């Protein structure tokens, strides 16, 4: 079976010369939820931006990034973007229409759906994120948490099979975080989530990948990986409190 996401030796250098990715390889199976961890500047966002071709891939014709077996390249960008929904780190980078309804409708409209279908998708997606009555609201007056949910609705309205989220719970309050996690849990898509929220990783992800300085430095089952305090500290992370009452051996039994 094709991997939902397959990245092979991906390298990326920004114009100013900073080497953000230095040969990243990873695979995510269909239906998996995988966390991407790593200190600030380790390349998480750069990696995520490659998954639907926002950053130009100037690599071999063979393609360093494949989605469901198809390489991300200029020729099939449209197909890739139907399959991959990317939620940016900063909602203000994603929202650009005056009202919530217009914003959430933008993606489905690009898919060439009829007006009635678009309307249906928008209503469904807004209900899914708990903002059913928000369609007429002005996007720039929303709270940060509401903006994040509108961004997610805009992506869900396109019904992607792969959902890519960049720090989805950063600067949400505890209730906002809890609600957002419950929401994510209900979405059946394959998920790749870059985050510093280790509770989210423990609760939602089966596997995690640690990036540091543009390289994958570790990967494995979440509990095993996050319990490795030495590894966590070496890469600017920490062993999450949520795991502290687990003895590692018991934890292994949980995941077995």
Alpha carbon 219 to chain centroid distance? 17
**Per CB under 6 A, 50 contacts ligand ADP:** no
Alpha carbon distance 38, 237 (integer Å): 7
Query: Which stretch, 40-48, 75-83, 199-207, 228-236, contacts Mg ion (CB under 5 A)?
Result: 40-48
Residue 38 binding ligand ADP, by CB under 6 A: yes
* Contact pick of 9, 14, 117, 171 for ligand ADP (by CB under 6 A): 14
Task: Work out whether 79 is an interface residue with ligand ADP (CB under 6 A).
Answer: no
Under rule CB under 6 A, residue 9 binds ligand ADP: no
Interface stretch with ligand ADP, choices 15-23, 24-32, 76-84, 183-191 (CB under 6 A): 15-23
Count CB atoms within 10 A of the CB of residue 57: 17
Contact with ligand ADP (CB under 6 A): which of 16, 62, 75, 115? 16
Helices 144-156, 174-185: axis angle to 10 degrees equals 10
Q: Is 176 in a helix, a strand, or coil?
A: helix
Give the integer Cα–Cα distance in Å for 222 and 76: 33
Q: Pick between residue 153 and residue 200 the one whose CB is nearest to ligand ADP.
A: 200
115 binds ligand ADP (CB under 6 A): no
Q: With respect to ligand ADP, which residue has the nearer C-beta, 14 or 96?
A: 14
In angstroms, the CA 156 to CA 161 distance is 9
Residue 86 CB, shortest distance to Mg ion, in Å, is 12
Q: What share of the chain is helix, strand, coil (3-state, %, to 5)?
A: 40, 25, 35
- Nearest CB to ligand ADP, comparing residues 153 and 201: 201
């Amino acid at each position: 079976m094709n991997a939902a996401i397959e990245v092979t030796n991906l390298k990326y250098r920004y114009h100013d010369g900073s080497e953000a990715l230095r040969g990243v390889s990873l695979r995510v199976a269909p239906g998996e939820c995988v966390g991407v961890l790593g200190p600030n500047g380790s390349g998480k966002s750069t990696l995520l931006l490659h998954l639907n071709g926002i950053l130009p891939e100037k690599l071999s014709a063979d393609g360093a990034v494949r989605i469901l077996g198809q390489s991300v390249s200029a020729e099939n960008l449209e197909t890739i973007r139907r399959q991959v929904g990317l939620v940016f780190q900063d909602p203000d980078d994603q929202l650009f229409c005056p009202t919530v309804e217009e914003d959430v409708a933008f993606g489905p409209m690009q898919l060439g759906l009829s007006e009635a279908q678009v309307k249906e998708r928008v209503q469904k997606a807004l209900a899914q994120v708990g903002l059913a009555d928000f369609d007429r609201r002005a996007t720039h007056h929303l709270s940060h948490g509401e903006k994040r949910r509108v961004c997610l609705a805009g992506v869900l309205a396109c019904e992607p099979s792969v959902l890519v989220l960049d720090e989805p719970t950063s600067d949400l309050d505890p209730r906002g975080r809890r609600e957002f996690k419950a929401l994510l849990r209900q979405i059946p898509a394959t998920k790749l989530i870059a985050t510093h929220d280790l509770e989210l990783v423990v609760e939602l992800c089966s596997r995690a990948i640690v990036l540091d300085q543009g390289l994958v430095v570790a990967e494995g089952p979440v509990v095993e990986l996050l319990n490795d305090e030495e590894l966590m500290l070496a890469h600017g992370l920490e062993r999450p409190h949520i795991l502290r009452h687990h003895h590692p051996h018991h934890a292994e039994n949980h995941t077995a």
